[in-house]
Amino acid sequence: MAHPISALGAFHTVLSLIPVAAGVIAFVRHGRIDPATGIGKVYWGGMLASILTSFGLSSTGHFNAGHALGLMALFVMLVGTFAPRITILGRAAPYLQTLAMSFSFMLLLVPGTNETLTRLPVGHPLASGIDSPIVKSALAGLFILFLLGTAYQLFRLAGQRRSQGALGRTGARA
């Protein structure tokens, strides 16, 4: 049985759509979520607002798996944001940043997928909870998309770096 959504729950849901939209736009525009870009900053702000508002929500009345995923997403975003500044990472920094930001996007979709499938359609939701086969299948599909999308992004980044390296060796200017 679906639980009615509270005013905070509705506000949290709307806020959560901001990083979803910003993440998709970043992927289309830049091939990845780069926290240094304008859309990357919108993503960061939306994620932070979504994570913070999630702490006011709990069907159990205390800390739950959704809260843990939010904290994990926040940690991963911090890693992704600061990776380029960690000199010891060297050439691996942009790859770590890309992986971390993509992983944060996937983490955002986990509770969103569960909540959507257990609430919609109103009155007759598609799933009864996280253990429902449809939720498990949807999450498995998201994980496969995450793996494929991240692999694409990392190969694309490697290709860009090779192209820039080749231009630098020939003396050509970008």
Is residue 48 within a helix (H) or strand (E), and if so which, with residue range?
A: helix 38-54
Report field, pTM of the whole predicted structure over 0.75 = yes
Residue 42 lies in domain = 7-170
Is residue 21 within a helix (H) or strand (E), and if so which, with residue range?
A: helix 7-30
Q: What is the pLDDT of residue 163?
A: 82
Q: What is the pLDDT of residue 72?
A: 96
Q: Is residue 127 part of a domain?
A: yes
Q: Is residue 2 part of a domain?
A: no
Distance CA 140, CA 53 (A): 26
pLDDT band at residue 174 under the 50/70/90 scheme: very low
pLDDT(166) > 80? no
Residue 144: count of CB within 10 angstroms of its CB? 10
Summarize the confidence of residues 139-154 as an average pLDDT. 95
CB of 32 closer than 8 Å to CB of 102: yes
Q: Is residue 1 part of a domain?
A: no
Summarize the confidence of residues 133-157 as an average pLDDT. 95
Lowest-confidence region among 16-20, 101-105, 125-129: 125-129
Choose from 31-35, 66-70, 166-170 the range with maximum mean pLDDT: 31-35
pLDDT band at residue 9 under the 50/70/90 scheme: confident
Q: Is residue 24 part of a domain?
A: yes
Distance CA 16, CA 53 (A): 9
Looking at the structure of the chain, the number of domains it has is 1
CB of 154 closer than 8 Å to CB of 95: yes
Q: Is residue 146 part of a domain?
A: yes
> Tokens at residue 95, please?
């790859």
pLDDT band at residue 89 under the 50/70/90 scheme: very high
Instruction: Report pLDDT digits (tens) over 55-64.
Output: 888 767 788 8
Summarize the confidence of residues 46-54 as an average pLDDT. 93
Instruction: Report pLDDT digits (tens) over 14-45.
Output: 999 999 999 999 999 999 999 999 999 999 99
Helix orientation angle between 65-82 and 93-119, rounded to the nearest 10 degrees? 160
Q: Is residue 20 part of a domain?
A: yes
